[in-house]
Amino acid sequence: MRYRSSVLAAALNGLTVNDAAHALSLEERGLNYGDGVFETMRLQHGAIRFIGSHLTRLTLGCERLSIAPPAEALLCSELATLTRDHRDGIVKLIVTRGAGGRGYRSNNLLPTRIALLYPVPSNATHSGITVRWCTTRLARNAQLAGIKHLNRLEQVLAQNEWHDESIAEGLMLDTEGELICATAGNLFIVRDGILVTPDLRFSGIRGVMREQVIASAQREQIVVEERALWPDELMSADEVFTTNAVRGIRSIVALDERRWMIGPITAQLLART
């Protein structure tokens, strides 16, 4: 099946791309090695939500990979140009080490900046979602944990495990059995009034919405624990929800035979984040 692009606007290194299907170098290291980082952001009422947090994480990711981070002011300006004719959308920003020669080693390349604007998915709001367990596991590597790099085969394989559209997300364990995240979002549970989320010391992505939720909880005097989390703690939790920057907080209401209500702390955080 030939894919029909839904891209509304695209830019490569700050220049508008009219033909996004024929734009990129075949020597792009983002293609050859997944050698870069990305952000997925929500354009809402003409502004990108949490743009500061997104650009901060992008810069941290570049630094972890020893990619010279583009100036945040430059990226802001390019994103403003990309989105100027739109009120709502999903903005994807990719920064790679650049287009370079064969071989893993890089040699002072110019990083590539790619910006794409997509329409908002029609199923972006939910009152509560059904999730499943994924069999694909996340590998543990502290050096790559937390940042949103382009090596995402584990998430691709996990999302391709199911095709039932009534299931909105899959929950992922790492190779040691720790509970880490949803395929495209972070995970929180509430037990005895305490909010718990995985500490992501060996795998997973430190989400922008995760950070916002933790900050909201702290303002609301809710105790937050970032620590190793295990599947049985989720099954016996009072409330469970996922977070990401596109879809916000989504309460989990069903997993296998287990059912939850949208609980009071989830509702409080939904109202205050």
Interaction residues for a copy of itself, span 96-115 (CB under 8 A):
96-110, 114
Site for a copy of itself in 211-250 (CB under 8 A): none
Pairing, β 194-198 against β 258-259:
unpaired
C-beta of 180 vs 217, nearer to a copy of itself: 180
Tokens of 262: 């949208």
What is the distance between the alpha carbons of residues 172 and 184, in angstroms, rounded to a whole number? Answer: 10
Task: By CB under 8 A, tell whether 33 contacts a copy of itself.
Answer: yes
Among candidate residues 113, 92, 115, the one with its CA nearest the CA of residue 41? 92
Among candidate residues 178, 164, 152, 181, the one with its CA nearest the CA of residue 38? 152
**Applying CB under 8 A, what is the total number of residues that bind a copy of itself?**
74
What is the distance between the alpha carbons of residues 150 and 194, in angstroms, rounded to a whole number? Answer: 33
Give the nearest distance from C-beta 238 to a copy of itself in angstroms: 29
What is the distance between the alpha carbons of residues 246 and 117, in angstroms, rounded to a whole number? Answer: 13
CB atoms within 10 A of CB 80: 13
Q: Is 147 exposed, middle or buried (0-12, 13-18, 19+ CB in 10 A)?
A: middle
Task: By CB under 8 A, tell whether 17 contacts a copy of itself.
Answer: yes
What is the distance between the alpha carbons of residues 120 and 122, in angstroms, rounded to a whole number? Answer: 6
Give the nearest distance from C-beta 157 to a copy of itself in angstroms: 7
Q: Which of 8, 14, 20, 76 binds a copy of itself (CB under 8 A)?
A: 20
Give the nearest distance from C-beta 131 to a copy of itself in angstroms: 15
Task: By CB under 8 A, tell whether 31 contacts a copy of itself.
Answer: yes
Binding part of the chain for a copy of itself, among 79-87, 93-101, 247-255, 262-270 by CB under 8 A, reads 93-101
Tokens of 115: 């910006």
Binding part of the chain for a copy of itself, among 3-11, 187-195, 247-255, 263-271 by CB under 8 A, reads 3-11
Site for a copy of itself in 151-210 (CB under 8 A): 151-160, 175, 183-184, 203
Give the nearest distance from C-beta 94 to a copy of itself in angstroms: 7
> Residue 113 forms beta bridges with which residues?
95
Convert residues 35-54 into a mask of x (bound to a copy of itself by CB under 8 A) and - (unbound): x--x-x--------------
C-beta of 183 vs 212, nearer to a copy of itself: 183
What is the distance between the alpha carbons of residues 58 and 142, in angstroms, rounded to a whole number? Answer: 18
Site for a copy of itself in 133-162 (CB under 8 A): 136-141, 143-144, 149-160
Binding part of the chain for a copy of itself, among 28-36, 49-57, 76-84, 220-228 by CB under 8 A, reads 28-36
> Residue 116 forms beta bridges with which residues?
10, 92
Tokens of 271: 């109202």
